[in-house]
Structure 1
Amino acid sequence: MSAQRTRPASRRLLAVVLALTAGLALSGCSLLDVFTAGNQAVRDSDGQVIEGNDETDVFSLQVGDCLNDGEIGDTVTAVPTVPCADPHDSEIYASYILGDTDFPGIDTIVQEADAACLAGYTEFIGIDYLESRYDFSYYHPTESSWAGGDREILCLVYDPSGEPLTGTLEGAGE
């Protein structure tokens, strides 16, 4: 299985338009349980990564995970995870589950991901997306991972300047 990472094409303007016009068809489905012990980060009792893994299975990622995925390709099966106290490229700030329908096509998934990730951005960062210095991207299902039951969009925040992040950006207000 694989997931795809996408960065919004026309960033801020497109994101605002999509947020105002796109409706989300989200449901309460669960993420796939496709885990193997060797492809997971070590977590504490609260679920926080305390020991990263260079090949963390993409289906074991959780909100709050910090990733070193700046150099990763478009279609991925594993990503490097690290504790958020360590320098990292991005942080997962939200998860959205798409409706259980036939594969809607990548364009539809990308529109829903843009709208969903924008909708959760302000609450997480603490200021409006258009005023923030940070940007967002996301991992979303591919046609092949959809066929296996994948419906999850994972929203990531990152610094577009390429500067490493340290600690969580929750409530950063910038």
Structure 2
Amino acid sequence: MTVARRGYRLLTMAPAVLALGALFVIPPTSAVRKGDDFMTPETTGVLNLEPGECFTDPEYSPMAGEEIVLYTTCDQHADNQSYGFVHADDGPYDRAALAEFGWSSCKRGFANYWPGEAGAELDYYPILPTAETWADGDRDVMCVVYDPHGELKGSMLPRA
């Protein structure tokens, strides 16, 4: 009879144990999608970045009084890595045409560095000149790779 009682007690405790366990389940991180409006060359820190360098997502800095990105080593809290620059042709500023150029150019670079399965867990986005930076002569589109599920785990660029 003791065995039967113990089994009954376990069954009556099961819902409480399951409910308690559900409190400690960490939901999967939803994927983040970064578009061509995620940041601009006007975001403080972006213009200091070189190809291959890693950096943080924009964050408001009370000291600077604006959003900034910070250079970081690729294995320490890096959200993004620049993998190249493409130069747009001169002409009047056309945001839609520039976005199309940026996405298609960065896609070619992404497919070159991370073909097929190599890029399955990664994504990319272009950082486009704004009307203001275009007027100052900025014609460079920065191509950036990132992990939609979190921080980078080191440099994403393939080793030569």
Normalising by structure 1, we get a TM-score of 0.58
Per-residue Cα deviation, 1:49-79 (whole angstroms, up to 9, x for no partner): xxxxxx863222111110111657xxx9842
Partner amino acid, structure 2, of 1:140:
L
Partner of residue 116, structure 1: 105
Does residue 101 in structure 1 map to residue 100 in structure 2? no
Equivalent-residue separation in structure 2 for 1:63 and 1:131 (angstroms): 18
SS at match of 1:133: coil
Partner amino acid, structure 2, of 1:88:
A
Equivalent-residue separation in structure 2 for 1:92 and 1:129 (angstroms): 20
Change (3 A) 1:148 1:8: closer
Q: Aligned to 1:83, which of 73, 95, 101?
A: 73
Matching of residues 39-50 of structure 1 within 5 Å: none
Change (3 A) 1:134 1:71: farther
Per-residue Cα deviation, 1:119-173 (whole angstroms, up to 9, x for no partner): 0012222x23896211111211011110001111001111111x1113111128x
**Once structures 1 and 2 are overlaid, which stretch shifts more, 93-102 or 109-118?**
93-102
SS at match of 2:70: strand
Give 1 or 2: higher strand fraction: 1
Equivalent-residue separation in structure 1 for 2:71 and 2:111 (angstroms): 24
- Percent identity among equivalent residues? 25
Change (3 A) 1:98 1:66: same
Please tell me the root mean square deviation across aligned C-alpha atoms, in Å: 3.0
Partner of residue 165, structure 1: 152
Contact 2:59 2:69 in 1 (8 A): no
Q: Aligned to 1:63, which of 46, 51, 55?
A: 51
Change (3 A) 1:78 1:150: farther
Equivalent-residue separation in structure 2 for 1:82 and 1:142 (angstroms): 25
Partner of residue 7, structure 1: 35
Equivalent-residue separation in structure 1 for 2:53 and 2:104 (angstroms): 21
Partner amino acid, structure 2, of 1:152:
D
SS at match of 2:125: strand
Partner amino acid, structure 2, of 1:98:
A
Change (3 A) 1:58 1:102: same
Structure 2: which 5+ residue stretches go unaligned? 1-33, 38-42, 61-65
Structure 1: which 5+ residue stretches go unaligned? 1-5, 10-54
Give 1 or 2: higher helix fraction: 2
**Which ranges of 4 or more aligned residues in structure 1 deviate by more than 4 Å?**
none
Aligned residue pairs total 117
User: Which of the pair has more CA radius of gyration?
Assistant: 2
